[in-house]
């Protein structure tokens, strides 16, 4: 408990003790009123103060005003014990709600406790702790065992195991060595690392993630916006309804029927009506449900940018995947060289030289297979043609390296490959020289991820790829993906997603899952963009609505399950709170319900709704 909550608990205990003592004292008249006013003011002075400020600022209709009018009215009618009890139970409910919200915030804070307090810099042979904000790009920082990586960078010296669980939700450590990138927020578990920073602290992964989590509550869902609008209309309406209940029946009884107006009875009913009508359960539990859902997702390494995205994610009926880096590991290996007119080593040499400046996974696999450092002085006039390949001059001779589209555009006859994989054709001086077969590796959990999505009620799975049709169909068949589109350029992927969006029913939402680096346009175009394996990827954090912090495709189904559980809890709370309120309001208007039932309708419903909302924090394992 924080200081404010402890103070409120102390006030509640004092008020309960005073009420217990007063109830045994034989007090009458003004002495009894004065005695009950003591616990009433102990427990309710802040509510009265806030209600007064609201009236002065012309923001009258809120729960403080309702509680103040109802309890003061009850005391004026001589119902001292009930008026004080209503205020006491309302404050107990407020304390419980405050604790629940605090618990949700603490859960998220603990799960995302990745903000580093300092960075170690070496000065005069000694380590000096400095504020991470003060570390410039290109500085050398030292990370010792047990310390957090404060800023993104590249290891220049040392080996270590990094704990990435705060970012990914996974407990398996990641081994890093000299020359490898490290990202802020990880914890160094073993060796001493010297890291050259590549970003300022404000632009590092840890800062972007914290900003994402902190801003998630500002993006409200339709349900939250509905509740806010509902409360603004509902609260004044019930206040006017209570006034009508207090005035109209007595006037009708007196003037039309000639009966005793019974002002006290109807004013008491109106005050009971006010207590029952307080919309606390809705106003508190709905945002808390979304907040808890976002916290539960964060624990699993799933960052949701706002409750509006959580609501959209829950309606997902179609999931579209990019292939490379999403369903496959993006680890390409040269698995064969076919129809070659030169020795295999010479084919790899030409291919590695042509791919010298490319960072594409296929390029990396060719350079790995070549096994030597290409001499870039031999390469000139390099041109990378998107979705086709590369043309260059090697030792002054024109070389073309790419797919069948490139060969067709250059009017070069090529040989088809009868093996499944990515085929890279090579032409030297306008003549076909053979092709290199490269195979990608499917992720171990990819097939289970598709099954989990179907089990979760996703009706259609689609895969988009720039790979050859044979490769794409082989992967789709192995993973049991229902539809596949191959040989697509980056712009074609956007067009294909737009086609799917037009064809789907309005109730179904389309999610696109990409690796977050080169899929930004498609991530933005889909109903919900999910960036997977986005640890350290600025593009993913910027473009996607949901960011999965590791490479496990199973987390897509888990994210949908979390969203659906959260929305189920939200609707349970809405139906439960409104249903109980309406029944109790009717009973209150008919005089069947008294102040004690009103307390249950207000505080009891709020406590039950908040308890239900907290369930969204807990995620069941697949």
Closest by CA to 191, choosing from 207, 173, 206, is: 173
* Chosen domain end from 393, 416, 439: 439
Closest by CA to 11, choosing from 36, 54, 40, 52, is: 40
Burial grade of 175 (CB within 10 A; 0-12, 13-18, 19 or more) = exposed
In this structure, the answer to whether residues 478 and 542 fall within a common structural domain is: yes
Q: What average pLDDT does the segment 193-204 reach?
A: 88
**Domain range holding 422?**
333-439
Q: How far apart are CA 206 and CA 453, in angstroms?
A: 30
Cβ density class 441-464: b for 16+ within 10 Å, e for less: ebbebbbbbbebbbebebebbbbb
Q: Between 217 and 434, where is the model more confident?
A: 434
Q: pLDDT (tens digit, 9 = 90+) per residue, 268-298?
A: 888 878 777 776 667 777 777 888 888 888 8
Q: How far apart are CA 7 and CA 47, in angstroms?
A: 15
Q: Which ranges of 355-445 does DSSP label H, i.e. alpha helix?
A: 361-370, 404-409
Q: Is residue 254 part of a domain?
A: no
Q: Between 208 and 78, where is the model more confident?
A: 78
Q: How far apart are CA 107 and CA 53, in angstroms?
A: 33
Q: Is residue 589 part of a domain?
A: no
In this structure, the answer to whether residues 390 and 451 fall within a common structural domain is: no
pLDDT of residue 480: 92
In this structure, the answer to whether residues 428 and 341 fall within a common structural domain is: yes
For residue 326, give every residue at least 6 positions away whose Cβ sits within 8 Å of its Cβ, in sequence order, or none: 513, 514, 515, 532, 533, 553
Statement: residue 197 has pLDDT above 60: yes
In this structure, the answer to whether residues 72 and 154 fall within a common structural domain is: no
* Chosen domain end from 524, 542, 560: 560
Q: What average pLDDT does the segment 342-364 reach?
A: 85
Asked if residue 595 lies in contact with residue 74, where contact means CB atoms within 8 angstroms, the answer is yes
Q: What average pLDDT does the segment 20-43 reach?
A: 89
In this structure, the answer to whether residues 475 and 519 fall within a common structural domain is: yes
Burial grade of 163 (CB within 10 A; 0-12, 13-18, 19 or more) = buried
Q: What average pLDDT does the segment 125-149 reach?
A: 89
pLDDT of residue 211: 66
The lowest-confidence range among 414-428, 550-564, 601-615 is: 601-615
Statement: residue 518 has pLDDT above 80: no
In this structure, the answer to whether residues 324 and 449 fall within a common structural domain is: yes
Q: Is residue 228 part of a domain?
A: no
* Residue 440 DSSP class: -
φ, ψ (nearest 5 deg) of residue 508: -90, 135
Q: Is residue 230 part of a domain?
A: no
Q: What average pLDDT does the segment 89-111 reach?
A: 66
In DSSP terms, 511 is beta-bridged to 319, 528
Cβ density class 183-201: b for 16+ within 10 Å, e for less: bbbbbbeeeebbbebbbbb
Q: How far apart are CA 255 and CA 244, in angstroms?
A: 16
Q: What average pLDDT does the segment 141-147 reach?
A: 91
Statement: residue 218 has pLDDT above 90: no
Query: Which residues participate in catalysis according to the annotation?
Result: 322
> What's the CATH code of the domain at 351?
3.40.1110.10
SS3 229: helix
Q: What average pLDDT does the segment 509-520 reach?
A: 79
In DSSP terms, 140 is beta-bridged to 196
In this structure, the answer to whether residues 139 and 195 fall within a common structural domain is: yes
Looking at every residue in the chain, the average pLDDT score rounds to 82
Model confidence at 169, pLDDT cuts 50, 70, 90, reads low
Q: Is residue 610 part of a domain?
A: no
Q: What average pLDDT does the segment 124-141 reach?
A: 88
Q: Is residue 594 part of a domain?
A: no
Statement: residue 163 has pLDDT above 70: yes
> What's the CATH code of the domain at 123?
2.70.150.10
User: Does residue 516 come out as left (phi exceeding 0), alpha (psi in the -120 to 50 range) or beta?
Assistant: left
Asked if residue 479 lies in contact with residue 364, where contact means CB atoms within 8 angstroms, the answer is no
pLDDT of residue 102: 64
Whether the CA torsion 448, 449, 453, 459 is positive or negative: it is negative
> What's the CATH code of the domain at 494?
3.40.50.1000
Cβ density class 135-151: b for 16+ within 10 Å, e for less: beeebebbbeeebbbbb
In this structure, the answer to whether residues 71 and 135 fall within a common structural domain is: no
Q: Between 412 and 72, where is the model more confident?
A: 412
Q: Is residue 253 part of a domain?
A: no
Asked if residue 148 lies in contact with residue 129, where contact means CB atoms within 8 angstroms, the answer is no
φ, ψ (nearest 5 deg) of residue 536: 90, 0
pLDDT of residue 103: 61
In DSSP terms, 484 is beta-bridged to 463
Q: What average pLDDT does the segment 451-468 reach?
A: 89
In this structure, the answer to whether residues 200 and 166 fall within a common structural domain is: yes
SS3 578: helix
The lowest-confidence range among 101-115, 247-261, 308-322, 482-496 is: 101-115
pLDDT of residue 84: 87
In this structure, the answer to whether residues 404 and 463 fall within a common structural domain is: no
In this structure, the answer to whether residues 107 and 129 fall within a common structural domain is: no
Q: Is residue 261 part of a domain?
A: no
Q: How far apart are CA 88 and CA 245, in angstroms?
A: 25
Alpha carbon distances (Å) from 569 to 104, 563, 580 = 15, 10, 16
φ, ψ (nearest 5 deg) of residue 614: -65, -20
Model confidence at 579, pLDDT cuts 50, 70, 90, reads confident
Asked if residue 278 lies in contact with residue 605, where contact means CB atoms within 8 angstroms, the answer is no
Closest by CA to 530, choosing from 563, 490, 505, 482, is: 563
Q: What average pLDDT does the segment 131-137 reach?
A: 89
Q: What average pLDDT does the segment 396-409 reach?
A: 92
Number of structural domains, the chain?
4
* Chosen domain end from 69, 90, 111: 111
Q: What average pLDDT does the segment 3-9 reach?
A: 85
Asked if residue 559 lies in contact with residue 310, where contact means CB atoms within 8 angstroms, the answer is no
Q: How far apart are CA 139 and CA 127, in angstroms?
A: 14
Strands 119-123 and 333-338, sheet pairing: unpaired
Single pTM value for the model: 0.67
Distance of CA 112 to the CA centre of its chain: 12
In this structure, the answer to whether residues 469 and 523 fall within a common structural domain is: yes
Q: How far apart are CA 108 and CA 209, in angstroms?
A: 12
The lowest-confidence range among 177-191, 469-483, 531-545 is: 531-545
Per-position DSSP letters for 561-612, written without gaps between them: HHHHHHHHHHHHHHHHHHHHHHHHHHHHHTT---HHHHHIIIIIHHHHHHHH
């Amino acid at each position: 408990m924080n200081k404010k909550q402890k103070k409120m608990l102390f006030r509640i205990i004092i008020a309960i003790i005073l009420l217990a003592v007063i109830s045994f004292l034989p007090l009458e008249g003004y002495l009894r009123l004065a005695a009950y006013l003591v616990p009433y003011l102990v427990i309710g002075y802040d509510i009265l103060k806030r209600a007064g400020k609201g009236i002065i600022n012309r923001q009258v209709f809120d729960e403080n005003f309702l509680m103040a009018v109802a309890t003061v009215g009850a005391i004026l009618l001589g119902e001292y014990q009930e008026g004080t009890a209503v205020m006491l139970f309302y404050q107990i409910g407020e304390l419980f709600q405050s604790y629940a919200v605090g618990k949700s915030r603490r859960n998220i804070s603990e799960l995302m406790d990745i903000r580093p307090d300092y960075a170690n810099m070496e000065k005069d042979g000694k380590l000096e702790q400095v504020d991470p904000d003060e570390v410039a790009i290109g500085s050398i920082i030292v990370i010792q065992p047990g310390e957090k990586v404060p800023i993104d960078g590249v290891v220049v010296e040392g080996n270590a195991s990094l704990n990435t669980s705060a970012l990914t939700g996974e407990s398996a450590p990641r081994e890093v060595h000299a020359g490898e990138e490290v990202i802020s927020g990880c914890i160094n578990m073993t060796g001493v690392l010297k890291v050259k920073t590549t970003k300022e602290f404000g632009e590092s992964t840890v800062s972007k993630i914290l900003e994402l989590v902190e801003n998630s509550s500002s993006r409200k869902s339709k349900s939250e916006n509905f509740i806010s609008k509902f409360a603004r209309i509902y609260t004044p309406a019930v206040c006017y309804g209570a006034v009508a209940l207090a005035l109209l029946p007595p006037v009708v009884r007196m003037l039309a029927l000639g009966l005793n107006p019974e002002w006290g009875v109807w004013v008491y009913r109106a005050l009971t009506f006010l207590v029952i009508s307080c919309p606390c359960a809705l106003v508190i539990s709905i945002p808390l449900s979304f907040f808890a859902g976002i916290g539960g997702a964060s624990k699993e390494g799933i960052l949701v940018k706002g409750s509006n995205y959580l609501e959209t994610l829950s309606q997902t009926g179609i999931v579209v995947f990019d292939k490379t880096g999403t369903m496959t590991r993006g680890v390409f290996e040269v698995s064969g060289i076919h129809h070659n007119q030169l020795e295999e080593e010479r084919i790899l040499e030409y291919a590695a030289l042509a791919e010298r400046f490319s960072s594409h996974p296929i390029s990396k696999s060719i350079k790995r297979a070549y096994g030597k450092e290409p001499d870039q002085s031999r390469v000139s006039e390099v041109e990378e043609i998107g979705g086709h390949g590369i043309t260059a001059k090697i030792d002054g001779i024109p070389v073309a390296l790419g797919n069948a589209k490139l060969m067709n555009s250059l009017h070069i006859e090529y040989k088809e490959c009868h093996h499944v994989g990515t085929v890279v054709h090579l032409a030297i001086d306008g003549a076909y020289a053979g092709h290199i077969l490269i195979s990608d590796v499917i992720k171990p959990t990819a097939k289970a991820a598709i099954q989990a999505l179907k089990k979760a009620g996703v009706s259609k799975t689609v895969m988009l790829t720039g790979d050859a049709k044979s490769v794409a169909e082989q992967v789709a068949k192995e993973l049991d993906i229902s539809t596949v589109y191959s040989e697509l350029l980056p712009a074609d992927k956007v067009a294909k997603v737009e086609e799917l969006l037009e064809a789907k029913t309005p109730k179904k939402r389309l999610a696109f899952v990409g690796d977050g680096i080169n899929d930004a346009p498609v991530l933005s175009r889909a109903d919900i963009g999910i960036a997977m394996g986005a640890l350290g990827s600025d593009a993913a954090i910027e473009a996607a609505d949901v960011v999965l912090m590791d490479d496990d495709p199973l987390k897509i189904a888990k994210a949908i399950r979390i969203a659906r559980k959260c929305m189920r809890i939200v609707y349970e709370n809405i139906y439960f709170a409104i249903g109980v309120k309406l029944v109790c309001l009717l009973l209150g208007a008919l005089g069947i319900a008294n102040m004690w039932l009103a307390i249950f309708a207000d505080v009891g419903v709020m406590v039950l709704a908040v308890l239900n909302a907290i369930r969204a924090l807990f995620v069941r394992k697949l």
